[in-house]
Structures are given as structure tokens and as C-alpha cells.
Amino acid sequence: VLQGLQYLHDQGVVHRDIKGANILMTTKEGLIKLADFGVAAKLGELEDRRDDLQQHVVGTPYWMAPEVIEMTQVTPASDIWSVGCLIVELRTGSPPYYDLQPM
């Protein structure tokens, strides 16, 4: 997963929706692949579309970095945060903050 993200980030792309459902494993080779690039964007495009992005939160809440929730700046670090949330989910069986009440 991290190697795939490193490749994306080296290309200037932020996935913006890293979660278990978007990580696939091939049956034959056992390779891990990232899926669902529907909300992925190039960093330059994110800057150009900042006004549009201020209107819409993009991603899946339990795995979103704080800056994504606050609709500030999305960077490759946002994807790394999501990987951390995924690790918590793998270790505990639930994503972080799963049992918090909505605000």
C-alpha cells in the first residue's frame, strides 16, 4: 500500500479515499493494488479547484485526515493519515472514532 502511495505521490497524485474497501489483493500473485481513483486528483488541480473543494468534503469520514474534514489543504500526508486509520482498523476491528456521536 505504501509503495503504491509513494508512486502516486511521486506523480503528484493524491488518492483522497484510502480505506480497506479500496485495497485489493490479486489471487494469483498476491499483489496489493490500490483501487477507486474516483476522487483522486493531481496536486496542481487541487490548487486550481480550491474554491470548488471548499464546497464539498471528499472521501470516507472514518479514514479522513483532519485537514480533509476541515476542507483546508489536501496533501500526500492526507493519504498517509488514512493509512494510519486503516492500520488502527486492522488492529482493533473498527476504524478510529467509530463510536463517536455525530456533532
For 8, residues 6+ apart whose C-beta sits below 8 A from its C-beta are: 14, 15, 34, 40, 76, 79
| Whether residue 10 lies in the annotated active site | no
In angstroms, the CA 41 to CA 84 distance is 21
**Active-site choice (10, 17, 51, 52):** 17
- Residues with catalytic roles: 17
